[in-house]
Structure 1
Amino acid sequence: MLILGLVLLSSFSVGVFVWAVLQHFLTADVPSALQHPTKFRFLHCIFLYVLTLAEIFEKLGICSMLRFLQLLEGSVRIKKDARLMVTDLYFGTIPVRLFQPKAASSGPRRGILFFPGGSGFVGSLDSYHNLCSFLVLETDSVLLSVGYRKLPDHHYPSIFQDCLNASIHFLKSLKTFGVDPARVVICGDSIGGGYVACVTQALVGRSDLPQIRAQVLIYAVTQLINFQLPSYWQNRNVPFLSQEFMMMCMFKYMVIDVHWWDAILNGAFIPPEVWKKYRKWLSPDNIPRRFRKAGYQPLFPGPFNEAAYLENKHLLDVANAPLLRDDETIAQLPAAFLVSCEHDILRDDTLLYMKRLEDQGVPVTWYHVEDGFHGSLMFFDKKLFFFPCSLKIINSVISYIKSI
């Protein structure tokens, strides 16, 4: 009986993996300019295999999809480094992890607030531990990583609230942590990068807190409104953030009924007067011509659907769309370092935010990775699964932070 069970389990696992491989070759676009395409394909097959298992377990009532993925993430191996002192703390109910170099310093160090990515359901303190350790050692900084609340138990606006509250607590405690109040950087990737922009904006004008010196956004989400930008069209099937996967994560976090999928995708939820107001910031006309491939002619926004707007108008909240902040606030923002990847559905979010900042006189340093893809930063130390673009991104971020 045991042998039969093992045979059935093995057959099931093999069958799911074969399905994942077929799904990859039928649906995924692997950019021709990408280095190590075979490695990239293999990783995406594993990614699809895990997602398929998660979906099957959820349908069988064994475990929810998100819980299963979080459970797998919990198995990540943390590299301990004797040169660092790492402390797990709570700011109220928010778990945070403090990284401090053990080496003596002649004075207060630079401070880094770090918001992990992870689509709102992964991206734990553990999964970003090695990256944060590397940043601290390479920049000789004190870093605080924020373990904000996530799906499936927490939804909008929990991430923004936790990142903002943790930032305020950290900024009020800089002396305790040995941080120079004139050199505090907020950094994050993907959804974390989007909330770097939101939190930095929310802190503008706070005379009771030290001013943020710089914001570092790595392939960040800067709007949840126009899903017909050139990069969304060109990279909609590029791993590891396809259009379908991104929309699924967004719908879950923002608590949107799947019934509104087409209305959100086509912009039918945007009132004409709202689009008239914000078109100058959200239009593909703001994307440099070299990023607009031939044949790109989106019909956006679609015919207005008032019911879709009334149920989903929170997508227009500036706490989700830093691109929509008023000019006065934008003009007071600190210098920015923006990283974009060519083969990333979020590429144009970065390009639009860059123009928004530059139009208001904010100093911007832009680093574009021609062979980069979404999530590539996390492979910087994976040895066998290392990609050159991963090192390019982490080195560019380190170089910028060290210049602060």
Structure 2
Amino acid sequence: MSSELRRGIIFYHGGGAICGSLDSYHNLCSFLAQQTDSVVLSVGYRKLPDHHHPCISKDCLNASIHFMKNLMTYGVDPSWVVACGESIGGGAVALVTQALLNFPSLPHICAQVLITPVMQVINFRLPSHQQNQNVPFLTKDILMTVVCKYLDIDLSWKDALFNGTYMPPDTWKKYRKWLSSDNIPRRFKSKSLLPEFSGPFNEAAYLEIKHISDAKISPLLVNDKIIAQLPEAFLVTCEYDPLRDDALLYKKRLEDQGVPVTWYHVEEGFHGCITLFDKQLFSFPCSMKIANAVASYIKGI
């Protein structure tokens, strides 16, 4: 690599489409830039209440394409670009990295870093969803409200979405191989778990919600051929996070297709804790742990 060119990091912030901003993630991006000697592009995007799906993935993809087309202008080595994001921004990492495969003339992303990402909106009966309904920052009610608002689903269908009664049995058979809790390591499952999609099928709910069964919303649903072309991944999970199992499902999908995965699990971590890494009295050991682990991984690429 030329000594004049640096690594590039494209960063997509979290906040569930309702909060989070370039300002609130500025210190984290500065930390990553300094620790890894990288040029960081922090991507802003349109949010609720005025903007719905697919605004976030579109804005993130457009900003990424612009950056990838102009890497030399920013002093970035084209072979050394990392896509990184947290929460809904982690989901954006997957969506953008998958979408960029359709642009073979652009430089390739060399690694994807997904910090507690949201990867699917199909199965809310995974162990982590059942076990973490009242955890800090992302309770069941906040999560389901944000999903419905962003995907333009009337809130009256919230319970049908969470309980899976909107899902036709035949459709679940199709997704089961990727989204079932059978794919989650046993140590993350308690004996008191409720079964997945066991309630009576609600056709009215299905007609209102069916548009969510789309890989452009749930990157876990893309086919194996696409997964196999993806770059190496660094996945961060937190024990007290309803989205924990999304990352574990993606980990399995990537590994099954031969994509190298580094997994970092924080036993005392909770969703969004990385955003507190620089808040001194309000910070947690897990916050700094994740920030340091991400920086260390990126430095090692």
TM-score range, shorter chain: over 0.9
Give the match for residue 77 of structure 2: 180
Residue from 304, 329, 340 that aligns with 2:237: 340
Partner of 2:223: 326
User: Which structure would you say has the larger RCO, counting Cα contacts within 8 Å and 6 or more residues apart?
Assistant: 2
Aligned mate of 2:103, from 206, 225, 244? 206
**Among 350, 353, 377, the residue aligned to 2:250:** 353
The 1-side partners of 2:165 and 2:193 are apart by: 19
Matched-pair contact (CA < 8 Å) for 2:125–2:194? no
The residue aligned with 2:92 is 195
**Equivalents in 2 of 1:298, 1:378: separation in Å?**
33
**1:310 and 2:184 matched:** no
Q: Which amino acid aligns with 1:257?
A: D
- The 2-side partners of 1:239 and 1:299 are apart by 25
Q: Which residue of 1 aligns with 2:182?
A: 285
Identity %: 66
- Which of 3, 6, 11 is the equivalent residue of 1:114? 11
Does 1:263 find its partner at 2:160?
yes
Q: How many residues align?
A: 300
Q: Which of 240, 247, 254 pairs up with 2:144?
A: 247
Cα distance in 2 for residues equivalent to 1:146 and 1:301? 40
Aligned residue for 2:51, secondary structure, equals coil
Q: Give CA-to-partner distance per residue, 1:81-128, whole Å, 9 cap, x none.
A: xxxxxxxxxxxxxxxxxxxxxxxx932100000000001011111111
Tell me the secondary structure at the aligned position of residue 101 of structure 2. Answer: coil
The residue identity in structure 2 corresponding to 1:221 is: V
Q: Render the CA deviation track for 1:268-323: whole Å, top value 9, x for unaligned.
A: 22222221111011111111000001211324253222222222122111111111
Q: Aligned AA for 2:105?
A: D
Counterpart CA distance in 2 for 1:196 and 1:110 is 17
Inter-partner Cα distance in structure 2 for 1:183 and 1:274: 39
Checking the alignment, whether the CA contact within 8 Å between 1:379 and 1:385 is kept in structure 2 is yes
Map of 1:365 onto structure 2: 262
Q: Distance in 1 between matches of 2:58 and 2:29?
A: 22
8 Å contact kept, 1:270–1:301: no
Are residues 1:124 and 2:21 paired? yes
CA positional deviation for 1:339: 0.1
Rounded to whole Å, the distance in 1 between the matches of 2:170 and 2:209 is 16
CA distance in 1, matches of 2:234, 2:294: 8
Deviation string 1:12-65 (CA, Å, 9 cap, x unpaired) is xxxxxxxxxxxxxxxxxxxxxxxxxxxxxxxxxxxxxxxxxxxxxxxxxxxxxx
Q: Which residue does the alignment assign to 1:163?
A: 60
Amino acid at match of 2:62: N
Which piece of structure 1 moves more, 291-300 or 324-333?
291-300
Instruction: Report the AA paired with residue 228 of structure 2.
Output: A
Per the alignment, residue 30 of structure 2 pairs with: 133
Contact 2:167 2:197 in 1 (8 A): no
Asked if 2 retains the 8 angstrom alpha-carbon contact of 1:186 and 1:196, the reply is: yes
Alignment-derived partner of residue 275 in structure 2? 378
SS of the residue corresponding to residue 143 of structure 2 reads helix
Matched, 1:389 2:286: yes
Larger radius of gyration between Structure 1 and Structure 2:
1
- Opposite residue 243 of structure 1, the aligned amino acid is K
TM-score (norm 2): 0.97
Equivalent in the alignment of 2:51? 154
**CA RMSD, aligned part only?**
1.1
Which residue is equivalent to 1:6? none
User: SS in structure 1 opposite 2:72?
Assistant: coil
